[in-house]
Homo-oligomer: A and B are copies of this chain.
């Protein structure tokens, strides 16, 4: 890879402070976004000395999920590297997937006397019931492999198949529509026949065990997938990195990229503690703040503002460590007025001794739209951070 050939090892350190769902839209009354509303003296002062821009995580108009949003920030093409639904769910519960495992997203569902699906979600059973049913299914034993069942929320679970020579190219059993029977899982490549056999054997046993548990009397599986094999950040950039993230999915993504993960509490202060204690032993840090996205998803403009202000209050603990490069950005926008992820470009702040300083500024969407880094694909954040850390050599004579 072109970029990797330019990498030079240096002791300089890079911190990615990722505020999930950072970008927003104006409050109808004030005309200012969440970030523009927040009182952020520390971020503003970092911005004044740094460079600003706006990132597009996947492309213009594309609303990214959390996985593609993060993959892009770490320099992976989020369209080329499409992580399957099953793998995402397994990462989300911190299931220790091995290479070769095949994960699928499962639903408990209801089938009628004719075996036709009457409810794909089994009336959205309570999570407690789900946990019970997963315990019922867990002892299922298969010829030629094993299956691991982990409950998610309501009617959702994840199933991970383990065995020799499994591949993930099999069809869903979920027809995505009520009134039809569950479909047999079929292999879409000759190497995936063993996976189809395991999955169908599991489904048959699950049906028998669940018969008396209506409305959750059957299962549907979809999104069969394996861990993608991707070059690690160490291989690509000689980064010895650590992820500080309280949500399992982000820790899973971090492991995929070859980062160490530190267990940390859900408290923001603890995350900054973890950063400080890991600081001397690594040269790359991914600090993930989930709360801004949650507030945005809930449509809680004020809570998102408060979360950003809390990050700002902790920021001096990060700057005191004097990393050579600090990147503050988000994996996507989550405007409270939209109550969900959106396609809007995401504020980006790059801080290093080698920036062309922005000058006095309120860190926010409007300032970033006028910033020197311009409107850039999020995949360019990593090479820019590497350059500002003086970790990229000259190209050509």
**What is the interface of chain A, defined by CB distance below 8 A to chain B?**
2-3, 6, 25-26, 31, 33, 54, 58-69, 78-79, 82-83, 85, 88-89, 335, 338, 340-345, 354, 356-357, 359, 365-366, 369-376, 380, 383-388, 392-397
Contact = CB atoms under 8 A, between A and B. Distances in A.
A202 B75 CA distance: 45
27 contacts: A6-B62, A54-B372, A59-B380, A60-B384, A60-B387, A61-B380, A61-B383, A61-B384, A61-B387, A61-B388, A61-B392, A63-B393, A63-B394, A64-B395, A67-B397, A83-B396, A340-B394, A341-B394, A342-B387, A343-B384, A343-B387, A343-B392, A344-B354, A356-B366, A369-B371, A369-B372, A375-B376
Nearest to A356: B365
A396 B65 contact: yes
Contacts of A65: 394-397
A62 B386 CA distance: 9
Given A383-B62, A384-B60, A396-B67, A338 B356 contact: no
A23 B181 CA distance: 58
Contacts of A68: 395-396
Contact of A392 (B6, B62, B67, B78): B62
A337 to B, nearest CB: 8
Nearest to A53: B375
Contacts of A372: 54, 345, 365-366, 369, 375
